[in-house]
Amino acid sequence: MAAAVQPGDPARIGAYVVRGRLGAGGQGVVYLAQAPGGRPVAVKVLRAADEEAAALLRREAEVLPRMAAFCTAQVLEVGAAGAEPYVVSEFIEGPTLQQAVAARGPLRGRELHRLAVGTATALAAIHRAGVVHRDFKPGNVLLSPEGPRVIDFGIARPVGDAGAGDEVAGTPPYMAPEQFRPGAGAAADVFAWGATMVFAASGAPPFGAGPLPALVHRILRAEPDLGGLDGDLRELVAACLAKDPARRPAAREVLLRLLGRTPSAVSDPLAAGSAAARAGGPAPEGTARLAAPIKAGGKARG
């Protein structure tokens, strides 16, 4: 459920009536709102409407329409309320992976495999759309009843200029070694996917937390702690966490390995992956049947 509005929150944003808060961060606030026809939507509003922050919001609005509907919340409108720009997107009920693990502990067995397939499918689709997310992490994986959705593309980049500029961006426990210098590409998302799967299975990222210098040292030099992972998934995640980005599998290969297929055996792995990640109904031939949708407490996200 959404949290209550706070003093100073707007009653309306453009044509949308604010009903509650879905989340807040350094960039701004995400509100649960009601569209004129009654539909619930998520509205992300910047806290500080400086040009850099506005550019991040515009980039998110430009990137999201490239994604398949099963990957993320879809953008409905981009606007401005006075000097504050906002993006309206589809509202999706469900906790984040971070919230779900905090509420009831790590995932196991078929439930973990279902999450792995669904998130790998989304990541492969994101990369096929020509986008590098750059901040894939448990807090940006939304567990909807229809399967995982990847959210928050505020620092995403097109593949061709993922290393443009000189900023270092991301969430440190889930950042690849190359993200601590300019020039990281799609392989950094694969590393972050592997780190996220470790968190899902153990409740902690593979290199721990704590002071940034020590964390960065472990990411650059230490072997990951793969926690509760075992079997083929453990082997796959270990490959995704390779220090050298050239040694990591591409997102499409990750998905195919999860499906137990070779590249020549599947004409469209995204279709197979999205079908396997949906609850109910038979899984495509050669894939595992997956558990029912993850249900847990926590705030809804859009």
Q: What burial class does residue 90 get, using C-beta atoms within 10 Å of its C-beta: 0-12 exposed, 13-18 middle, 19+ buried?
A: middle
Name the packing angle between helices 186-202 and 251-258 (round to 10°).
Answer: 40
3-state SS of 225-280 is CCCCCCHHHHHHHHHHCCCCHHHCCCHHHHHHHHCCCCHHHCCCHHHHHHHHHCCC
Cβ-Cβ contacts under 8 Å for 131 (sequence gap 6 or more): 63, 66, 67, 153, 156, 157, 158, 159
| 3-class DSSP state of 111 | helix
Cα(146)–Cα(89) distance, rounded to whole angstroms?
A: 17
Q: Which two tokens stand for residue 177?
A: 């070694």
Residues 124, 152, 181, 199: is their CA dihedral positive or negative? Answer: negative
Half-sphere exposure of 211 (CA within 13 A, CB side): 3
**DSSP H helices in 36-108:** 51-63, 97-104
232 belongs to the catalytic site = no
Phi, psi of 170 (to 5 degrees): 140, -175
Max Cα-Cα span within the chain: 58
List 9, 50, 135, 225, catalytic entry:
135
The answer to whether 284 and 272 have CB atoms below 8 angstroms apart is: yes
**Residue 142 β-bridge partners:** 96, 149
Q: Which amino acid would we find at residue 160? A: G
Q: Which amino acid would we find at residue 92? A: I
Which residues participate in catalysis according to the annotation? 135
